[in-house]
A and B are shown apart, each in its own frame.
Chain A
C-alpha cells in the first residue's frame, strides 16, 4: 500500500459525459501528479500540482482539468468524454515540488475509466 488513495476504482460512462476522479496523497506529500495509461501503453504525464498550485503541465487535453484543494487532495475533471479517453488514470504523490524527480513518486491504485 503506497498510501495514495484514488476513488472511484472503476467508472463506466457514456460519450459526451463529464466525470471527476479523486486522489488523496500520502500524508506529508505536497505534490500530486496525474497520469493516463491507455491499454498496453506507457504512462502519459498529464499535470502536476504542488501545494495547491499548478507546477507542470504535460499532454493534458483542453477537455481535461485538475485542481488541488487546501487539504491537498486533488481532482481530475474529464469532460466531453470520447471513446479514446478510456484508460487507467493514475495519481501519484511526492514530497518535492519542482525538480520533479528529486523525490520518488508513489502511485495510487488507479481509476479505470471506460467510456461507452
Chain B
C-alpha cells in the first residue's frame, strides 16, 4: 500500500526563523512525484513546491526548499525566514496510481 505520513501534527516557529516539516512515504514505484501544498485559514489549497523522484537535485522555490532522500523515502519541507503569512496547514502529497495526501502539519508563525 502507498501511504504518506506526516508525524508532526502541530509546529510553531518564530517569525524570521527557519522550520522544517517532515514527511515520509511508502511506495514500490521507482518514478513518482511529491508535492507540498499549503492550506491557509481560507481553506484554499495552494501548491508550494514539487519534486520529481528521478531528479536528485532538491527543488527550491524562493524561501521554500525540500530535502528529498529517495532511499529513505523522506521528503521534508524547509521554510526559511518564516513570515506570518506562512501560518497554515501543510500537506505532503505523493502520486502513484492515485494522489495521496498526508494528514497535515499545522504551522503557526509567532510574531
Contact = CB atoms under 8 A, between A and B. Distances in A.
A56 B32 CA distance: 16
Given A92-B45, A102-B33, A41 B99 contact: no
B104 A107 contact: no
A104 interface: yes
A42 B101 contact: yes
Given A104-B47, A105-B47, A43 B101 contact: yes
Contact of A101 (B37, B46, B95): B95
B99 A42 contact: no
Contacts of B43: 88, 109-110
On chain B, which size bracket covers the interface? 20 to 34
B76 interface: no
Interface in A4-62: 33, 41-45, 56, 58
Contact of A107 (B44, B95, B97, B98): B44
Contact of A45 (B33, B45, B91, B99): B99
Given A42-B104, A92-B45, A104 B50 contact: yes
B100 interface: yes
Given A100-B96, A101-B32, 5 more contacts: A2-B44, A41-B103, A101-B33, A101-B35, A101-B95
Interface of A: 2, 33, 41-45, 56, 58, 88, 90, 92, 99-102, 104-107, 109-110
Interface of B: 32-35, 37, 42-47, 50, 91, 94-104
